[in-house]
Structure 1
């Protein structure tokens, strides 16, 4: 291998050299496998102006490049500097292609050597990294990165990253490296050069495996160890009753410890509820330390009574946080040992038998290939086999669906990996756990279905409990989407001869299986099914188009409720006929596949492992096929009682975007029967459970029966909101229904521009409508008054909620626009956020199918649906939105509510009463801006 690399980074005026964009800075670091040798850096005069966004991002301005050389002047030297080396960059295809275009423009020969992408290499060597962005990799690996988005700093940190990745690769077992070298020939950059070189070096001397690794069936993996059962008999389990005892316990390990009386109150409430086998609903305000508030008493109770306590959260982030932060802290603090496990659904775990067999397939599809390589490295690190540890692409998730665990369809003993199975290991680990951490979805699956992963338990804490109703509704929902249906058929092999059905057919022929449904018949039915599904969704697309009203015609995304009335339309009758034909085809296809599988299963003693793995995958597929058939039946042919049905889709992508959904109107009876009645004690907690200090709405929404003993406790936040924040309500914004949405958006924009300049950005703007968000974003971008500001908008700026939030925190002058998911779960402490704007009060749209069905349900009972459901739901969301601003005792900021209904309606005051007491100011835009500037 060539011993030298040149790591290159460029800063440019834009992404496209063909459209006249130019380089403004370039840096090249020369290095070998061990050391950095040299660095060349220069600004480049682009001979065009630098856009404000680029200046804000890079810190490079016109004065810095004015006297710099042009690219034409440095190109010959740069070309010589690169010659004979391997070209390396973070996202190499961009940097190298841009340079090649510039070389061509100035008449210099292009670079002709090999290239390596550190993004691609990092994905393989660091498969569990949260992000592969350079700035975030540097931070997680503690690499010095002084000036992100300047070429000299970026190139240097990329060189250090390459050294780190090479060292990590060198430590991998030879058996892993040999497989990586084989697969890497088919990647986008020339990483095979690196792996071939390392393999050649390793083969020169015999090395011992690290003591915590083993090689089994040709794959290196980390050894699993079951921790010994903790004997609590002789341990003193005196729960710290007094505040002094609690403070002494916590203060010895917690840096900068601050006593929180609310946290102590919560501990006592949890412990007492468990001891007295009561339920409890606890609203714990922001800042009281809720997680420790329920974990500490749970651990004391679980260890003392020798019974597990299950902690359920709504989000994976909170699960991980509890394990990595609070549980780790408590294991240091408490004077006795305890055991905690994190449990997830079966499909989270890797099936090693299926994975082993997939490695022998000569399938060079990029995402599958990269994911195989990531898993090979990950197996040397993981003891859980939990996919949430992996950072795989969307395409990689398709491959994961093939190799995930879905139980055993042959007997367990026929799986050669049974002794190292991750799912069974999780079950064994949970048997003697004191604390089991899971999520609402997994918990409901465990309680409703007969897949038993948990040991028997009777004590439960539900954090983020305001999501319980939604989680239960989601869990009991039925859905049918065009893309999922077609993907299932693609797995069967409708498009590629090497897929499941054709492999099964070849195996059946080889084993001389006798069948009643012949291959040609099955083949015909599968193609008929494919065509019928196309026809079904085409007709549903036409049904949507004919059902929308004038207002909806202007909106790309649609939600059409299916009612008894709409099902009487002739067009729906045609859809039903098509669905009947599909269900019949499904039945015949399943019968044809099942008889082959059952016959082969009886002969499984004669089959090779690869063939057994095919049977396992095929049995799993049959289960998916059965589920799809059941969904079509319930959604189209035999609607369930007390369910709300709707169709959603994007007009720009019909029929591909179509999904039919059904959810129960009420989850009361299901939660009572499957959850509350099975438990001795359930603690439900969140920062937002009450309306005007009453738990009535929350308890009613989840069906927590009045015949159960329930302790109610509302623990206020310790923050001093009167000093830390101020609420502004502008009085010169029109009522939204009095003007067009475009006029309303322009008014909002004018106010936001003034407020942004007063707060210097650092502003989160919450919307309830994506259409309004898009209009305001576009108006603000076009106004020309905020060129130095970065506008980051959900659905417009690419990236997940977490990525958008991180990008917002990186810039001094940034405005973040968000809808539904941004009203909660976004944590931006400190000076990064000093202004929160709520454009509208967060009522659910009245035509939302679920809202509509719930409201109808109330009306049938003679109850006012607005006061019983719509208003309380909006108040809870308002409280969640308000909670985004103050996250620490040192935070300060302003809240601005544009919706005039908070003042002009009889119910508006209910929103004000739902948040802590704080100063409120009314006024026109100029008064408010003056007051904001003074206050901040």
Structure 2
């Protein structure tokens, strides 16, 4: 069958069962890998077309008034699919709708073999940024002139299908064979395609020079760059002149280059710190160009001294951005060859060995797992890194990936044939050779607190987004325990007669099992699960009861309770400790049985390495549960400097409890384990100071004063001309319980400002609860849906997806909290107004804040001025920085919280941002001022 008929429908809604009808059919016919025919017709649905559908498609009631009904065209449409594959971009929708309509008019439903181009594209284009029709067309550089019209969509789908078919034919034999094993679980009928390709390839194996094969897998060959001979003959001053000054490489290579004195000053400060073996705190305000400013001296120092320099970022996204965007640009700028490598934790890299083992496991083959396996099989033929962050997996695919990441391998055996095919080891080898290693705070802290075993040796380091270092270090030095993780671990271990890890180990030696205590294992595992469930349910109820007694614990549905204060109900807490002890007892029994199994097979000379590794990994995991339970409950009374707390979802499962412990003060640990041991640590961010002072961040991180350089690099932007800061003096005062009135006043201001700025607003909240209330009020009070409201946590999609959607619409308002306060860049006219609803103080009832506040007060310090205020000011600066991202940007910052003017600490906020005109007046007059200014 070499005929493919592509269909796309426009409809009045999503559900034929609810009476929705087809309003347009578009069909494209493919024969011999060419589009040979088209068919299109409007259809009269005999019902009104909803305004949203008319807005999306451009089809209105007048257009379909004289169109035929579906019944009149049903025979012609069905006839087109004879002896053909049915192709659609989301087959369940188009075929489901078409068949429902065919049945409704008394005809037989279509039963053609199908190909879903969404599904096939997810498998064959694993690196695509998205799989909506428009996104794929853009990725494949196909023109899509009339989106949301049936014929245009069908034609583009046909072009995509031809590309997909071609891509499939280029895959290696091993990949085709593995896909064939998974095919029965796909929505698409790919069996004939795969069988033909498998037969063709088995007769004449087409070897690809870029592909390696081992263990039934095909993957892209590993390549190592040869380290170039490097020498710098320029002095550092001449080196900087050749880059920054007139006729330097920046002017020559960068479009729209504007010289920034602060950028060169930052490069000089970093080099000085390196030469003096000093640490440095550098606040580089927005527009400095700090990535290039720190890479330039880092490269010079690394090449000149022949010693690597580490660059650490808070997010893996910024890591990738540095490697993919900044490093290629800087190769054009610096007059010396250099090597840069990216290194992440083991959990980011796929293990080919574990993947090969899991591919043969039939119990994993639900749809999402099958799709994940298929996507990974194709990705392996393309990826050079094996870093899972390159692609998006289906929702449950990340659970599967945990089982096949390098972290799941256990003990490393350099003698294993898989060792030379390890992506993680390849990344480490590249890092060993590199001048610049780009890593993240998470791996950096793992390295610091594990005696520097994870990163190649280094003396000099640059930490970007350094305001996050304390939080990341606290999380790594602390611990977390939760019901879901423990339950997952027990299910992975499994009973002796199911598909878990234990059964996989012992079933390989089935003739030797009589002497093993496997029945005992099943009983103890069952007891373990029971005790764990009992403990977590009791903890859940305990926290809920504390909430009833202390209303301040939470008002957002998530209850946080600190349990290191010694104020628990003694009898109930003793019961909880007994439960924890019982769980530890059974966990130790599981470890004992695993050790017996290992010793038994060892004595028989039977134990294979992969089984030994698996036992070792499971023992370590069970022991880590014991260690964490002991720290949290059994030794909880011991005086230490950590804070312990629980979090539960008030309306969640009755055992969904999350337990945490973190140090209250990281400064001594970082001072001793990090700053003392390294020659030079450069800490930089756009937000490190409060009122031009680095004291807060220096004290929190434990940076030694005696060898420290501090430098503040001011922004090149003219904030006084580009920004107006407006503060209303007539908003309801929230501290008197007027939350709803405050939200209503905020929403009125949002809608009034939106009229002036045509939307283009980012509204930052400090709590999701207030964001949710504001979203409801805005939706209720908007006339004719003038503005698209995009709300974090309510509108679907990731942060970057919400940002993209915001930029797509002409009149949009973006409501954000938490992660939207930083790292979101919306330059130019897309953003004209930033509203800050409340000053971003951490909730005073948060356990970590409470503990740190108590700790500071015991040290004779002021918890508000030494902790709460500096954190809020730094957060405020991050939010403020969202508005102006270039010299041509212009906008308004509207702060609804009058404390910024009325309170004695308000000046700490206004004096910590660039100097801008500030107006404190009634909302009405502020709106007039905004209109005049724009």
In structure 1, C-alpha distance between the alignment counterparts of 2:740 and 2:236, rounded to whole Å: 64
The equivalent of 2:645 in structure 1 is: 646
Aligned residue for 1:577, secondary structure, equals: helix
- Measured in 1, the distance between the counterparts of 2:313 and 2:885 equals 20
2:799 corresponding residue in structure 1: 801
List per-residue Cα deviations over 1:415-450 (Å, max 9, x = no partner).
Answer: 221222222222222222100000001011112115
Most deviating of 737-746 and 179-188: 737-746
1:132 aligns with 2:110: no
**Offset, 1:135:** 2.7
- Secondary structure at the residue paired with 1:431? helix
Q: Work out whether residues 353 and 416 of structure 1, in 8 Å CA contact, stay in contact via their aligned partners in 2.
A: no
Query: Secondary structure of the residue that 1:529 maps to in structure 2?
Result: helix
Structure 1 residue 78, shift from structure 2 partner = 2.6
C-alpha distance in structure 2 between counterparts of 1:319 and 1:900, whole Å: 38
1:613 alignment partner, one of 596, 610, 615: 610
Structure 1 pair 480–48 and aligned structure 2 pair: CA distance change class (3 A):
farther
Q: Number of residues paired by the alignment?
A: 927
Who is 2:747 aligned against?
A: 749
Q: Which runs of 5+ in 2 are unaligned?
A: none
- What residue is the counterpart of 2:721 in the other structure? 723
* Aligned position for 1:627: 624
Task: Check the 8 A contact 1:513/1:596 in 2, yes or no.
Answer: no
Once the two structures are TM-superposed, the CA of residue 294 in structure 1 deviates from its matched residue by 0.4
**Partner of residue 267, structure 1:** 267
Match of 1:690 in 2: 689
Cα RMSD (Å) of the superposition? 2.5
Give the secondary-structure state (helix, strand or coil) at the position aligned to 1:130: coil
Superposed displacement of residue 498, structure 1: 1.6
**DSSP 3-state at the match of 2:676:** helix
| Residue in 2 that maps onto 1:252 | 252
| Other-structure match for 1:501 | 502
SS at match of 1:675: helix
| Deviation for aligned residue 1:239 | 5.3
Any residues of structure 2 matched to 1:338-487 within 5 Å, and which?
Answer: 338-363=338-363, 364-406=365-407, 412=413, 415-450=416-451, 452-487=453-488
CA contact (8 A) 2:506 2:513 kept: no
User: CA 1:411/1:436 → structure 2, altered by over 3 Å: closer, same or farther?
Assistant: closer
Instruction: Report the Cα distance in structure 1 between the residues aligned to 2:256 and 2:575, rounded to whole angstroms.
Output: 69
Spell out, residue by residue over 1:604-638, the C-alpha distance to the aligned partner (whole angstroms, 9 max, x if none). Answer: 6x56xxx6434433432322222222222212222
CA distance in 1, matches of 2:275, 2:62: 71
**1:24 deviation in Å?**
4.1
Distance 1:49 1:678, change over 3 A: farther
**Distance change (3 Å), C-alpha of 1:103 and 1:587:** same
Tell me the TM-score normalised to structure 2 length. 0.94
Cα shift readout 1:195-238 (whole Å, capped 9, x = no counterpart)? 2343344345x143221212223321222122223322586575
Corresponding position: 1:281 with 2:301:
no
Contact 2:554-2:560 within 8 A present in 1 as well: no
What is the Cα deviation at residue 88 of structure 1? 2.2
1:18/1:784 Cα in 2 relative to 1: closer, same or farther (>3 Å)? farther
Counterpart in the other structure of 2:9: 10
Q: 1:489 offset after TM fit, Å?
A: 0.8
Matching residue of 1:710: 708
User: Does the CA-based 8 Å contact 1:53-1:788 persist in structure 2?
Assistant: no
Matches within 5 A, 1:78-89: 78-89=77-88
Aligned to 1:192: 191
Q: Deviations over 1:244-279 (max 9, x none)?
A: 652312222222222221111111111121122111
1:312 aligns with 312
Going from structure 1 to structure 2, the CA distance change for 1:278 and 1:555 (only over 3 Å counts) comes to closer
Is this contact kept in 2: 1:33–1:163, CA < 8 A?
no
Which residue of structure 2 aligns with residue 523 of structure 1? 522
1:768 counterpart SS class: coil
User: Which residue of the other structure, out of 886, 889, 892, is the alignment partner of 2:890?
Assistant: 892
Q: Does 1:301 align with 2:298?
A: no
Secondary structure of the residue aligned to 2:26 is strand
Work out whether residues 459 and 679 of structure 1, in 8 Å CA contact, stay in contact via their aligned partners in 2: yes
1:927: which partner in 2?
925
1:657-682 per-position Cα deviation (integer Å, ceiling 9, x unaligned):
32111111111112112221121001
Q: By how many angstroms is 1:743 displaced?
A: 2.5
Contact 1:780–1:786 (8 Å) recurs in 2 = no
Q: Deviations over 1:532-572 (max 9, x none)?
A: 11111110111121010346686422212223334343222
Partner residue, 2:594: 593
Is the CA contact 2:496–2:521 (under 8 Å) kept in the aligned structure 1? no
- 1:9 shift after superposition: 2.8
Post-superposition shift, 1:600?
3.3
SS at match of 1:653: coil
Distance between the aligned counterparts of 2:201 and 2:895, measured in 1? 65
1:626 partner SS: helix
Deviations 1:697-722 (A, max 9, x none): 11112111223x11111111111222
**Equivalent of 1:214 in 209, 212, 215:** 212
1:29-178 alignment to 2 at 5 Å?
29-32=28-31, 34-61=33-60, 64-65=63-64, 68-178=67-177
Contact residue 302 and residue 435 of structure 1 kept, 8 A: yes
- Over 3 Å counting, the alpha-carbon distance change for 1:581 and 1:911 in structure 2 is same
**CA distance in structure 1 between the aligned counterparts of 2:513 and 2:411, rounded to whole angstroms:** 20
Q: Matched residues in 1 for 2:670 and 2:801: separation?
A: 35
- Pairwise CA distance, 1:737: 1.9
Q: Secondary structure at the match of 1:437?
A: strand
